[in-house]
Amino acid sequence: MNYSHDDENFPLTRFESMLKTNDILFFDSSEFENIIHHYLENGKIALAKRAIKLGLEQHPTSINLRLFQVEILVIENKFSEADDILDMLHVLEPTNEEIFIQKANVLSKQDEHKKAIDTLLIAIDMSTTPSDDADLYALVGMEYLFLDQFENAIIYFKKCLETDTSDYSALHNVVYCYDFLDQNEEAITYLNKFLDSHPYCEVAWHQLGRQYFTIKDYAKANAAFDFAIISDDTFVGAYLEKGKVLEKLKHYEDAIENYKITLALDEPTSFALLRIGYCYEKLGQVDMALQFFKKTVEEDALLDKGWIAITKFYMKRLNYLKALHYINKAVNIDGENVLYWKLFATINKRLNFLEEAELGYKRTLELGNYELETWLERSDILIALGEYEAAIYNLIQGAEFYPENAEIEYRLGGLYFTVHQTEEGRFHLKNAVTLNAEYNFIISELFPKLNDRPMVKAIISESKKASN
């Protein structure tokens, strides 16, 4: 219930006036309930507690005020106290379904989800208004979700929809469960059946389109999103999804049109701006593409895909200085983004800025990107910089993730020979040629001075003879 603070006749205004003046005014129990409900909805827990205390002083036998007290205790994780009150209330009103609902809430908060379900089912059995039980079915469905029992959750979310066809959160949950179970066909069957009786439900059409998109039936997905838009021509999500489908169908101009509709209907989203940029790029309209990529990062500077799109735009056109300018901006905004550092390293390497490239690969590894290519690229740059010991240490770390890898072993062999640790060099080079003799070109490329060393030549030539 909403109250106006401008009208002194409303109980909420009277209550707050009472708190300021310390006068004691009388309210009936239903007025207290409405006041408490208002405070809880607005997150004003302290005021809700004050209203409950005063309400119980004036109406000590009110079951509903006690149930609000339980709700507060649950919020404060005081489950034992909440249980005590519920047990007392159950003695007074053993057929009050709200008591069982609150009991289930207490159990759920303590991860007793199976007991919570059993308690909710008692409440459903007690209900004298089955047509109003949608919320109860939804609560059971949520408890099954907590238990990862998606098949059972589906049953109860469907029951919820049978009782209240406008409960779109239940519809979303049905589809979520099907998605989790990889049952796209079952979801499609259910949604089509639902739409037979609710043909103008834009949410169901939208969900159906997403299912068709997942199984790559783009024509049917496109039709479903069209019906969602017919049902509600201001449905931003349907235009966005339709745009994605049109991109898959290579209808880039139509995709742009749909994305631009979303910009007119609502505040611009970085997702739509980015997709428009990609579409223009596909159409060869590079100036427009760049314009929308830049709008993307202006709209959301934290969206990494925007900065990556601009950076790669310049990289494709071999304008590495421009690419470096934008990836530097990105790194300054979010220095923990591994994708930024990988691009930073690649671009600096292309520009032959080896120290910066090495830093980029080092940060990439520190942030958890353990791809083989990252270890190898960093070691090659360290070799070029003459940092042989650092290169060895880097490769030994890489070998923990990629044991018995020929590319790592050739580099370790070459490095150990270079720093005059002959036995280690011999061990790793022999290991390398055994793993893959065809990669021996790594030695001549990275360590040309070793080409004429007798031991190196002997190991490689022996491997060539063996392979022949």
Q: How many whole angstroms separate alpha carbon 168 and alpha carbon 229?
A: 17
Q: How many whole angstroms separate alpha carbon 177 and alpha carbon 155?
A: 10
Q: How many whole angstroms separate alpha carbon 71 and alpha carbon 124?
A: 20
Residue pair 462/429 in contact (Cβ under 8 Å)? The answer is no
Residue 46 belongs to a domain: yes
What is the structure's pLDDT at 81?
78
Is residue 340 domain-shared with residue 391, that is, in the same domain? no
What is the structure's pLDDT at 462?
79
Please provide residue 117's backbone torsions phi and psi, each rounded to the nearest 5 degrees. Answer: -65, -45
Mean pLDDT of successive 10-residue stretches along the chain, which has 468 residues? 46 72 74 79 79 75 76 77 77 79 85 91 83 87 94 94 91 95 96 94 96 96 97 95 97 97 93 97 96 95 94 96 97 95 97 97 96 97 96 96 95 95 94 91 92 87 67
Is residue 401 domain-shared with residue 454, that is, in the same domain? yes
Residue 407 belongs to a domain: yes
Cβ neighbours, 10 Å, residue 79: 17
Residue 18 belongs to a domain: yes
CA distances from residue 258 to 30, 221, 228, 239, 339 in whole angstroms, order as listed: 50, 15, 13, 5, 30
Instruction: With both helix axes pointing from N to C terminus, report the angle between 218-231 and 202-214 in degrees, rounded to the nearest 10.
Output: 170
Residue 75 belongs to a domain: yes
Domain end, chosen from 94, 111, 137, is at: 94
Q: How many whole angstroms separate alpha carbon 145 and alpha carbon 178?
A: 12
Name the domain count of the chain.
3
3-class SS string, the chain: CCCCCCCCCCHHHHHHHHHHHCCCCCCCHHHHHHHHHHHHHCCCHHHHHHHHHHHHHHCCCCHHHHHHHHHHHHHCCCHHHHHHHHHHHHHHCCCCHHHHHHHHHHHHHCCCHHHHHHHHHHHHHHCCCHHHCHHHHHHHHHHHHHCCCHHHHHHHHHHHHHHCCCCHHHHHHHHHHHHHCCCHHHHHHHHHHHHHHCCCCHHHHHHHHHHHHHCCCHHHHHHHHHHHHHHCCCCHHHHHHHHHHHHHCCCHHHHHHHHHHHHHHCCCCHHHHHHHHHHHHHCCCHHHHHHHHHHHHHHCCCCHHHHHHHHHHHHHCCCHHHHHHHHHHHHHHCCCCHHHHHHHHHHHHHCCCHHHHHHHHHHHHHCCCCCHHHHHHHHHHHHHCCCHHHHHHHHHHHHHHCCCCHHHHHHHHHHHHHCCCHHHHHHHHHHHHHHCHHHHHHHHHHCHHHCCCHHHHHHHHHHHHHHC
Is residue 288 domain-shared with residue 346, that is, in the same domain? yes
Q: How many whole angstroms separate alpha carbon 52 and alpha carbon 253?
A: 60
Look up residue 13 and give its amino acid. Answer: T
Residue 444 belongs to a domain: yes
Is residue 401 domain-shared with residue 430, that is, in the same domain? yes
Is residue 349 domain-shared with residue 413, that is, in the same domain? no
Residue 459 belongs to a domain: yes
Look up residue 291 and give its amino acid. Answer: Q
Is residue 86 domain-shared with residue 14, that is, in the same domain? yes
Is residue 344 domain-shared with residue 380, that is, in the same domain? no
Is residue 433 domain-shared with residue 347, that is, in the same domain? no
Identify which of 371, 447, 459, 381 has the alpha carbon closest to the alpha carbon of residue 411: 447
Identify which of 436, 372, 371, 373 has the alpha carbon closest to the alpha carbon of residue 410: 436
Is residue 401 domain-shared with residue 330, that is, in the same domain? no
Q: How many whole angstroms separate alpha carbon 356 and alpha carbon 143?
A: 52
Is residue 337 domain-shared with residue 374, that is, in the same domain? no
What is the structure's pLDDT at 63?
76
Residue 258 belongs to a domain: no
Q: How many whole angstroms separate alpha carbon 340 and alpha carbon 311?
A: 9
Domain end, chosen from 359, 385, 416, is at: 359
Domain end, chosen from 297, 332, 359, is at: 359
Is residue 305 domain-shared with residue 379, that is, in the same domain? no
Q: Which domain holds residue 345?
A: 268-359
Residue 413 belongs to a domain: yes
What's 21's domain CATH number? Answer: 1.25.40
**154-165: string of b/e by CB count within 10 Å (b at 16+)?**
bbbbbbbbebbb
Is residue 398 domain-shared with residue 318, that is, in the same domain? no
Q: How many whole angstroms separate alpha carbon 35 and alpha carbon 37?
A: 5
Contacts of 432 (CB under 8 A, 6+ apart): 406, 409, 410, 412, 413, 439, 440, 442
Lookup: tokens for 277: 């940029």
What's 332's domain CATH number? Answer: 1.25.40.10
